[in-house]
Structure 1
Amino acid sequence: MPFDTLGLTPALAQAAAASGFAAPTAIQAAAIPAILQGRDLRGSAQTGSGKTAAFSLPLLQRLTAQPASSASRRLRALVLVPTRELAAQVGETLEDFARHLPQRLKIVVAVGGVSINPQMMRLRGGADIVVATPGRLLDLVEHNALALDAVSMLVLDEADRLFDLGFAEELQRILALLPARRQNLLFSATFPIAIQALADDMLHDPALVDVQGETGTRPDIVQRAIEVDASRRTQLLRQLLKENEGTWDRVLVFVATQHAAQTVAEKLYRNGIYAVPFHGDIAQGTRRDILSQFKQSRWDVVIATDLAARGLDIAQLPVVINYDLPRSPTDYIHRIGRTGRAGASGLAISFVSAATEAHFRLIEKRQGQRVPRERIAGFEPVEVAPLVVDTSGNGGIKGARPSKKDKLRAAAALAAASQRNDAEPND
């Protein structure tokens, strides 16, 4: 199916082909016609499935079909993303597609972590499209560098992250500044049930596109789980990297904290492995350089927090390693989705200790896939799981706390058990 059958202009169909899309992906084939019709949309698809192009191409076409009404550009399309890296990536994609258009569109990327002044200068004279993180967007509005009253298209990329507690207040402030009549487009690899309810509140008669379960849409990712004591993970990581030096040209390793990112990267570097940390306390310019150099294979290994788990497109990344398991099954999906992108195959390895075995079983359950456990000679675990009674019913998984009804049932069960014990005769 060629792109022009979806309703795209020849220029944008050519732009898609020039970006490496031989044919529309499942999410693109389903979403582009609905967006061109002006419908609201909630789109869900695996990472690496072409979601950015699925909203960028029709967004550009709708803007060019309705030229700005005055010489001074008023912002007509707003794309909100949760991270600076994703903002830069989406901005680059829009610029690449827009180069094929007969008329010039002004696209501005606005993120925190850098001086606001250059972004304010860039916004002089207005913009057609702004790609922004929520906090910096509000800063620009407060500085009168930007007005949102003419926005006709709103895109939330990685929408589930934007709706969670970390961004919820900022998102509500932004929505209050937007016109009531607008087209809303929500995209993410995951839409937990609680997030779906919040998302649907802002959508009007939306097209619901979910290609997660369709044949051929799942990324080709082989998952492995290696049992190892927590204290020996760095040694095992170093051995795996050395053994696969000829085949793993780049490896993305996920850890739980900024301190772990620094520590593990330093230990690997001292052992002759070109590793670098990547986390939120590193300056934005440095982070941008690290990603650029990693894509060019100038770094062998990046040790990252979940800052790198969403939206980043690193072509042909062969391996992702979970040194620490993520807090939630949703984060696990986003992490391993950094490999196996755009039809390529990938490998995702998780280190599982006795203390994290129950947590990994819940991750398996949520993704509906069992991952066989492996042991590496010389690294057989000796630790045993701590004797901790989990009364939450969720294994400590973030976002899955027992409901009030669950707590009442548990209390009733305990009361019944106590009555039975009281009724039994003593020996």
Structure 2
Amino acid sequence: MNVISCLLPPRFRSQNNQEMSTQPPTDKPLEHIHSASNNLPNLTHDQAAAGLVALVDHSQKHTDVSQGIHASSHTLFSIPWIHHLIPGIEKLAAEYHIGNFVAIRGSKEQIFEAMPIYARIGMHLLFYGNEQVRVLHSTKVETLLKEQSIKEGKLYDSPESTASIPSFVATYSLETSELLEPDITRYKTFNDFFSRKLRPDARPVDNAADPLAICSAADCRLTVYPTVDLAKQFWIKGREFTIPNLLGVPPTSETASTFDGSSLAIFRLAPSDYHRFHCPIDGTVGEVVHIPGQYYTVNPQAVNEPGFDVFTANTRSVLYLTHAATGLPVAFVAIGALLVGSIGWTNGGEKGKTVKKGDELGYFAYGGSTVVAAFPKGVIEFDADLVANSMVPVETLVKVGNSLGRTPAKV
């Protein structure tokens, strides 16, 4: 069974062990972080910090990622070194679904995606203390997360890291036939594989010839909201989330005014996903603004945590695109996260370049992360099925090029 898995009863499991349900799940789609039943009461902050460091160090010496950094809830029972290091984690895995449900577009089915163990430890450090809690020789939690994220990126940039590629492919049941280079032995580093390219025909763009059509920017788990207020009501619970804070501009600026009342599309990439991101519109590449920040996990549980700001606190790069059909700007925000080493721009780094829907803009190095696209009023009407799922709220599984919505003809 791969990590897209769940502790659901067998009747919900398909023959390929990817758990599906034809009815809405009886429990909440997201884990309640502060529930008395799902915390780790015997785990000290020092133990949690030591666990995260050990997982990163383990990835340097051990090539099977499923036995370390990408271990998920259903595999913990067979990995004694992890549940001895992190007291209570195996009990938590047995009693609660550590992860979240994702809707399969075009059906009533949902799958459960288990959370990698490194993300769960990162959340424990943050949610059962704060950034001022000091761990491991008086290092602040935020500093620890940043240090380990940078360290993991360097480890996976080394030639020796290629030894972990086969187990990563097996753990996530990746389809190598769609890759531009399907021979996994030809990649120079793990990060080289992680930011792998696809064949040009692997992701056809829906309504490619329609200048008003808008498409998905990534292989991802997607939520969409017609207004920022709806996004904050159903999904983004951080008190500091505003468009100016996301874009790193003053609230009184012209940019803030332009994006006031924007529609938001949130593309969350899991570790298993193809990690290049693409243009959702026909348009022109503008400025890229880098905003330094933290390395919090971007799992839905963190985004849904009241008072905890992920998108406006994490390191991120903002690309401004000009939409050809309306002449209005679209803000394309690539957000780093826990164990994500870098954000790289390809076509998105060439100011003045004309791009079409589905053209590559850039990529993430190791780790799952998120893109948030902000569309000014009137630029997009999201597809109804995506809006309906987002109001549950539950993410929808989509691919690069899938329809996201359309610009109203009157604009």
Give the TM-score taking structure 1 as reference length.
0.28
Give the TM-score taking structure 2 as reference length.
0.29
| Structure with a larger share of its residues in helix | 1
Q: Specify the structure having the higher radius of gyration (Cα).
A: 1
| Structure with a larger share of its residues in strand | 2
